[in-house]
Structure 1
Amino acid sequence: MAQSFPLTQSYWQKDISEDLWEVSAGDLLREVAAECPKRIALVDGVEDVHARRRWTYQELLQTAETLARGLLSEFTQGDKIAIVSPNCAEWVLLQHAMSLAGIVLVPVNPAYGEQEVATILSQCDAKAAFYKPEYRGRNLGAMLEKIGEKLACKAISIEALDEFSEGADLSIILPDIPPRSILQIQFTSGTTGVPKGACLHHFGAVNTSRFVAKRAGFPVGGVWVNAMPMFHIAGTVVTSLGTLAQRGTYVIVPGFDPELILDLFETEKGNVSLLVPTMILAMMESPSFAKRNLSSVTTILTGAADVPKELVYRTKEAFNCNLVILFGQTEVNGVVSQTRVEDSAEDQSSTLGLPLPHAEVCLIDPETGEIQPIGEAGEICVRGYQNMLAYYNAEEATKKTIREDGWLCTGDSGVMDERGYIKITGRLKDMIIRGGMNIYPREIEEVLFNHPAINQASVIGIPDPYWGEVIAAIIIPEKGCESPNFDVLFSHCRAHLSPHKSPVKWAIVDDFPLTPSGKVQKFALRDLAVKGDLILHDIDKKSALKA
């Protein structure tokens, strides 16, 4: 049934105008290598231009197939193997090898401590872990060897892939991989507590990333510069497979460095990049930014954290390029909705765009489960090909997230307009309930971000015996500005918000606790405030309003 506009209910029927590709990630690589074997597929984006290694699609496929046979010489199809490493070309080679071998990839943040890594490897029954020997002064090799002995999980240096390939049994016939089978177990980023392992499948990952790349205007054969961590879904699915689907060149950056990213845009003629807001700000503040030739940049994608309107306008002007906003989460193979390059400036700066093709979306009342009228806030739910299969070995958690009728409840609150455009109001768990009234932090954060003395802001609820919760604003001042006066900031909020939405507690910090994708861990901020480790200053409303 065709969509009927204007919408009266917050329900978006899936758009089936584009076909879904029934293909595994490995078969997609074979298809692209056959079409354009000599095109550069992968660039190791290290700082030294002369040290950058390059692989054509033909070379990438040959290397990945040899590695796949090496994996199947020691492991079995369906085994889980982790990668505990920062970005590097070997990460991408292993990723493709595992998809060809039918081995389930488990990406792990190399910054995790021993207990965190051990918990993930244990939860997913990992048979092996490839690791970078050293990361930020830590001996990952020693840590993985120790964990491996306890869990019977083999530790292998990611820098020894050549030797690993040499032991491959080249007579092994690589298996046919069903597109609906598990591609990877992606552990959630943990903004609200303990991470869970989302089982993502080839079909969902390939098509979601493909639709993201197309809607962002990433050209066929274009160049994607990626600094997002490969252990996060934004790296290993959205950017990597999106580039592959568009037959593009994937420039993998060792880690986020504003100067290096800018250099790669110039020297590799990068067209597109996915950057979280903190990355964009750091690049625009780089001393060399104004001198760079960024004419090849066509689109910057951003999301993974709140994106204030002012930042949207600043980014488009500074880079002279398109900017699109993504909204999604791990459980839906990365992305649910996205703005389009042709959207108006208002839609680009104030919405999350329209759902991607084949995604069915509705907003429900969290209490009743009923679909909300247009314009009423509700929990964003998604149904379709892009949903995860389940949380690994977590049946109860899966049931709480995916209803029997197939709707996946994201835990995010938003509103939908009569055209189907979505606006986020915040995480349901982040919602502040003050005196029985629901308050969404995002609205307050937008107001604070627009103040010239504030670089970043995060708003949380603090327990209060009278109100239930009161509002606290944690801010990072703008560089070069004097320390902001809290009374002045309170007055600024009162001028733009209802009285009950203005923060009454304030704190200044140097940085926020973040997930690898740049999301603020508000639960960690709350814990610090409640324990007294974060000193909050109370506002005298009467004197503040006179300031």
Structure 2
Amino acid sequence: MQVSTVPAAPRTDAPLTESLRPADSGLPLSDHTVGSLLREVAARRPDAPALESVPDDGGAPRRWTYAELLAEAESVAGGLRERVGLGARVALWAPNLPEWPIVAYAAALAGVTLVTLNPALRAGELTHALRTSEAEMLIHADAGRGYPMGEVVREVAPGLPGLRHIVPLAAWDALRGSAPLPSRQEVASVPAQIQFTSGTTGDPKAVLLSHRSVVNVARLTFEGLGVRDGATVVSPLPMFHTAGCVISCLGPLWSGGVFTLMERFDPKVLFEVLRRSPGAVLTSVPTVLTALNDVARAWDGEPARLSSVLTGAAPVRPQLITETEELFSTTVFNLYGQTELASVVTLTRPDDSAEDKTSTVGRPLPHVACKIVDPDTGRVQPLGVPGEICARGYQQLLAYYGDPEATARKVDADGWLHTGDLGSMDATGAVRIEGRLSDLIIRGGENIAPGPLESFLSTLPGVRDALVVGVPDDRWGEIVAAVVLPAADRPEGPDLDACVARCREQLSPHKIPARWYLAEGLPLTASGKIQKFRVRELIAEGVLRRLDAPAAQAA
């Protein structure tokens, strides 16, 4: 039997007295860059499988060994350095393709900063991203899901004089070159990536991340999970996001395993890939798990068995965790993070209780301090009392590129990064997510955190999932509105009288939704996060179907 390359991180025994967990520095950080880490693994396991890419139609994957992956990346790195200098910004605009991780490794070996771009960006959004990042070079796909990306590039390029080089992925051979590559020390002095925030609360910001942050977050996440040596990691997540290009892509390097990239998420294709990869690790978001579980429930053959499932990026219902564990004979690990922290801050662990795994997002990774503060005073909250989640550690952003004012708003004078998320902490340092600070509902002076309320509503009969937002009200200022997604066996929606009755039994009166809406789906960012501002807009526009009588809206 194969064993973990590194044991799971131990639990600290000393109980906390307030909602502040100091950084655990027991494990040293690695000084690898992304490129030097690839070189080390390729030297140790040259013939081991490193990368496979599953096409849209579920056809035969394309595969590379570690030696082949390194050789290809070094060739492209030479081509990059023939065009741009050390520290230049090189943008990649493409859907999930095997060339994506190759270009990412090439950028790291070349000592340039990779700018990762959402393939769904429209012309104005692409222009904003390229201008904000000051990209000197753009590598792009010609099309993605029918979207003419090449045409869009030709449309925006004339307005971007700083963009000196444009190369389509179709001209792959033109990307190759033989220019000398920089030393490891030179590369370490250059930021690894610019990642754009998901835009759940406003315009996306350009997050500058270091090699130290992305390499070690991937490492400490996999060590925390106790991922076995040589494990296959299957990812349907978008590569332009940190969950794809940091955790899913770099994590396997630390276990010498295989990164299986799904070129497009199709739950049936994903299920088949998992069936042929027993003991794999799946990286996911809740929307992926929900669709995958639908396929697994309908399957009457030998089930897929996974060693572990990693999920996050959006609130995860306890029922979804339990269901996934039963269907795949696995353990689901829940995480919390954001782009500004290289994607992972807290993580549940193998030795956590069932309650902790389903109701918390775990304890902070090593080398990151975490605290919960009163948003108004900045004081550390007592244990169990919600407040803003703040973190401080090696993995936080270097800056919002080109925006020092936004950086100063995000990171205070003591170096604490303010996440804008609401949470609480218990005596072990485990964090519970309560929602976004900007999503806090204030009804008649009473603060209502959406997170716990959404978790409760999702347990009601006939409800598959639930979302809570505040909507304007003349009397209360704001009132609670619930948007429910119907269970598969109740497409017409739940029995509203039964739902309200359960709410009256379990909730304080001011928390009971005053309005109820039915939705088939929710607006999501490309990384799977719900756009609550858009939900509020849909309510205001009258798009969502009301379940309750209009006369009940002031109840």
The alpha-carbon deviation at position 6 of structure 1 amounts to 2.2
The alpha-carbon deviation at position 264 of structure 1 amounts to 1.1
Partner of 1:499: 509
Q: Is the aligned partner of 1:298 residue 2:307?
A: yes
User: Which segment is superposed worse, 440-449 or 329-338?
Assistant: 440-449
In 2: Cα distance, 1:405 partner to 1:4 partner: 27
The alpha-carbon deviation at position 304 of structure 1 amounts to 0.7
In 1: Cα distance, 2:344 partner to 2:521 partner: 27
Q: 2:256 aligns with which of 241, 244, 247?
A: 247
Residues 23-58 of structure 1 show CA distances to partners (whole Å, capped at 9, x for unaligned) of 111111111111111110001122677632111111
- Alpha-carbon spacing, 1:508–1:327, altered in 2? closer, same or farther (3 Å): same
The alpha-carbon deviation at position 468 of structure 1 amounts to 1.1
- Alpha-carbon spacing, 1:191–1:296, altered in 2? closer, same or farther (3 Å): same
The alpha-carbon deviation at position 494 of structure 1 amounts to 2.0
In 1: Cα distance, 2:330 partner to 2:151 partner: 45
SS of the residue corresponding to residue 16 of structure 1 reads coil
- Alpha-carbon spacing, 1:400–1:544, altered in 2? closer, same or farther (3 Å): closer
CA contact (8 A) 2:518 2:544 kept: no
The alpha-carbon deviation at position 344 of structure 1 amounts to 1.0
State the one-letter code of the partner of 1:511.
G
Partner of 2:173: 162
State the one-letter code of the partner of 1:367.
D
Partner of 2:533: 523
Question: Runs of 5+ in structure 1 lacking a partner?
Answer: none
Q: Is the aligned partner of 1:132 residue 2:150?
A: no
Q: 1:403 aligns with which of 412, 431, 436?
A: 412
The alpha-carbon deviation at position 193 of structure 1 amounts to 1.5
CA contact (8 A) 1:206 1:245 kept: no
In 2: Cα distance, 1:290 partner to 1:37 partner: 38
Q: Is the aligned partner of 1:215 residue 2:224?
A: yes
- Alpha-carbon spacing, 1:294–1:246, altered in 2? closer, same or farther (3 Å): farther
CA contact (8 A) 2:56 2:264 kept: no
SS of the residue corresponding to residue 249 of structure 2 reads helix
In 2: Cα distance, 1:173 partner to 1:181 partner: 14
Partner of 1:487: 497
SS of the residue corresponding to residue 429 of structure 1 reads helix
The alpha-carbon deviation at position 281 of structure 1 amounts to 1.1
Give percent identity, aligned residues only.
40
- Alpha-carbon spacing, 1:111–1:174, altered in 2? closer, same or farther (3 Å): same
Map residues 85-484 of structure 1 onto 2, 5 A cutoff: 85-152=94-161, 153=163, 154-165=165-176, 168=177, 170-176=178-184, 177-179=186-188, 181-269=190-278, 271-286=280-295, 290-291=299-300, 293-294=302-303, 296-481=305-490, 482-484=492-494
- Alpha-carbon spacing, 1:4–1:270, altered in 2? closer, same or farther (3 Å): closer
CA contact (8 A) 1:77 1:102 kept: yes
User: Which segment is superposed worse, 528-537 or 330-339?
Assistant: 528-537
Residues 141-188 of structure 1 show CA distances to partners (whole Å, capped at 9, x for unaligned) of 0101221222132332123223321xx1x2523343443631111100
CA contact (8 A) 2:55 2:264 kept: no
In 1: Cα distance, 2:90 partner to 2:304 partner: 40
In 1: Cα distance, 2:142 partner to 2:435 partner: 39
Residues 333-359 of structure 1 show CA distances to partners (whole Å, capped at 9, x for unaligned) of 000000012211111011111100111
Partner of 1:56: 65
- Alpha-carbon spacing, 1:18–1:541, altered in 2? closer, same or farther (3 Å): farther
The alpha-carbon deviation at position 270 of structure 1 amounts to 5.4
In 2: Cα distance, 1:512 partner to 1:488 partner: 24
In 1: Cα distance, 2:105 partner to 2:291 partner: 31
State the one-letter code of the partner of 2:182.
L
Question: Runs of 5+ in structure 2 lacking a partner?
Answer: 1-10
Q: 1:509 aligns with which of 496, 508, 519?
A: 519
In 2: Cα distance, 1:291 partner to 1:496 partner: 38
- Alpha-carbon spacing, 1:115–1:320, altered in 2? closer, same or farther (3 Å): same
SS of the residue corresponding to residue 215 of structure 2 reads helix
Residues 417-458 of structure 1 show CA distances to partners (whole Å, capped at 9, x for unaligned) of 111111111110111011111101111211221123112211
- Alpha-carbon spacing, 1:355–1:180, altered in 2? closer, same or farther (3 Å): farther
In 2: Cα distance, 1:445 partner to 1:22 partner: 41
SS of the residue corresponding to residue 240 of structure 2 reads coil
State the one-letter code of the partner of 1:343.
D
In 2: Cα distance, 1:61 partner to 1:270 partner: 26
CA contact (8 A) 1:265 1:294 kept: no
In 1: Cα distance, 2:552 partner to 2:408 partner: 49
State the one-letter code of the partner of 2:170.
E
In 1: Cα distance, 2:489 partner to 2:174 partner: 51
- Cα RMSD of the aligned pairs, angstroms, is 2.1
Map residues 532-543 of structure 1 onto 2, 5 A cutoff: 532-534=542-544, 536=546, 538=548
SS of the residue corresponding to residue 439 of structure 2 reads coil
SS of the residue corresponding to residue 285 of structure 1 reads helix
CA contact (8 A) 2:58 2:269 kept: no
The alpha-carbon deviation at position 371 of structure 1 amounts to 1.1
SS of the residue corresponding to residue 134 of structure 1 reads coil
User: Which segment is superposed worse, 291-300 or 98-107?
Assistant: 291-300
Residues 374-394 of structure 1 show CA distances to partners (whole Å, capped at 9, x for unaligned) of 121111111110111010111
SS of the residue corresponding to residue 214 of structure 1 reads helix
- Alpha-carbon spacing, 1:48–1:365, altered in 2? closer, same or farther (3 Å): closer
The alpha-carbon deviation at position 300 of structure 1 amounts to 0.5
The alpha-carbon deviation at position 536 of structure 1 amounts to 4.3
CA contact (8 A) 2:440 2:448 kept: yes
